[in-house]
Amino acid sequence: MCGIVGYVGGEDASDVLLDGLKRLEYRGYDSAGVAVLNGPVLDIRRSVGKLHNLDVLLKKSPLAGHVGIGHTRWATHGRPSEENAHPHRDASGRVVVVHNGIIENYSALKAGLQARGVKFESQTDTEVIAHLVGEAIARRKKKDAPLAPEDFLEAVRETLSELKGTYALGIITADCPGVIVGARRECPLLVGIGEKEYFLASDAPAILSRTRHAVFLNDGDMALLSSDGVKLFSAETGLPVERKTTHLPWDPLQAEKAGYRHFMLKEIHEQPRAIEDCLRGRLNVDEIRVHLDTLRLSEEQIKAFRKITIVACGTSYHAGLLARYLIEKWVKAPCDVEIASEYRYRDPLVGPEDLVVAISQSGETADTIAAIRHAKEKGARTLAICNVIGSTLYRESHGKILTHCGPEIGVASTKAFSSQVVVLYLLALYGALLRGSLPRPDVEKIMQNLLHLPHWVGEALKCEPATIALAKKYFHSRNFLFLGRNLNYPIALEGALKLKEISYIHAEGYPSGELKHGPIALIDEDMPVIAVATQGRVYDKILTNLEEVAARGGRVIAVATQGDTRISALTPDVLWMPDMPESMAPAVNVVPLQLLSYHIAVLRGCDVDQPRNLAKSVTVE
Ligand code: AGP
Per residue in 561-575, pLDDT (tens digit) is 999 999 999 999 999
With a 6 Å cutoff on the Cβ, whether 391 touches ligand 1 is: no
pLDDT at 29 over 80: no
Task: Name, in order, each residue with C-beta under 8 angstroms of 278's C-beta and a sequence gap of 6 or more.
Answer: 403, 404, 405, 419, 422, 423
Choice from 504, 618, 619 to test ligand 1 binding pocket (greatest atom count within 8 A of CB): 618
User: Residue 436: what pLDDT?
Assistant: 93
Active site residues: 2, 616
Residue 315 Cα to ligand 1 midpoint, Å, equals 5
DSSP letters of 375-425?
HHHTT-EEEEEES-TT-HHHHHSSEEEE-------SSS-SHHHHHHHHHHH
For residue 413, report the distance from its CA to the centre of ligand 1, in Å: 6
Distance between CA atoms of residues 610 and 608, nearest Å:
6
Mutating to test ligand 1, I would choose from 262, 361, 408 the residue with most ligand atoms within 8 A of its C-beta, which is 361
**Nearest-angstrom CA–CA distance, 358 and 311:** 5
State the amino acid at position 155 in one-letter form: A
What is the distance between the alpha carbons of residues 462 and 591, in angstroms, rounded to a whole number?
A: 10
Tell me the per-residue pLDDT of 413-449, one tens digit each, with 9 for 90 and over: 999 999 999 999 999 999 999 999 999 999 999 999 9
99-136 confidence digits (pLDDT tens): 999 999 999 999 999 999 999 999 999 999 999 999 99
* Interval 379-393 mean pLDDT: 93
Residue closest via CA to ligand 1's atom 13 equals 360
> Residue 155, Cα to own-chain centre: how many angstroms?
33
Contact 484, 532 (CB under 8 A): yes
Please say whether the beta carbons of 100 and 4 come within 8 A: yes
How many other CB atoms sit within 10 Å of the CB of residue 19?
A: 17
* Per-residue model confidence (pLDDT) at position 145: 81
Ligand 1: atom nearest CA of 412 is 2
Mean pLDDT of the chain: 94
* Percentage of residues of the chain with pLDDT beyond 70: 100
Residue nearest to atom 10 of ligand 1 (CA): 314
DSSP 174: T
Whose alpha carbon is nearest atom 4 of ligand 1? 412
The pLDDT-based confidence of 348 (bands split at 50, 70, 90) is confident
Contacts of 559 (CB under 8 A, 6+ apart): 530, 531, 532, 533, 534, 574, 575, 577, 589, 592, 593
| Residue 587 contacts residue 573 (beta carbons within 8 Å) | no
Q: Ligand 1 pocket, 313 CB below 6 A?
A: yes
Query: By C-alpha distance, which of 319, 302, 293 is closest to 431?
Result: 302
pLDDT at 78: 79
Tell me the CB-side half-sphere exposure of residue 193, using CA atoms within 13 A. Answer: 17
| Extended strands (E) in 142-278 | 167-173, 180-185, 190-193, 198-201, 213-216, 221-226, 229-234, 246-247
Distance from residue 234's CA to the centre of ligand 1 (Å) = 31
Of the candidates 600, 559, 563, the one whose C-alpha atom is nearest the C-alpha of residue 412 is 600
Q: What is the pLDDT of residue 257?
A: 85
Contacts of 408 (CB under 8 A, 6+ apart): 263, 267, 361, 387, 414, 415, 416, 616
Which residue's CA lies nearest to atom 6 of ligand 1? 314
Query: What does the pLDDT look like over 455-492, one tens digit per residue?
Result: 999 999 999 999 999 999 999 999 999 999 999 999 99
In this prediction, residues 258-271 reach a mean pLDDT of 94
pLDDT in tens, 519-562: 899 999 999 999 999 999 999 999 999 999 999 999 999 999 99
* Nearest residue to 421 via CA among 279, 268, 255: 279
* Residue (of 555, 603, 596) closest to 575 by Cα position: 596
Q: Is 372 in the pocket of ligand 1 (CB under 6 A)?
A: no
Residues 6+ apart with CB under 8 A from 50: 25, 29, 32, 610
HSE-up of residue 614 (Cα within 13 Å, Cβ side): 22
pLDDT digits (tens, 9 = 90+) for 162-171: 999 999 999 9
Inter-axis angle of helices 314-326 and 415-435, nearest 10 = 30
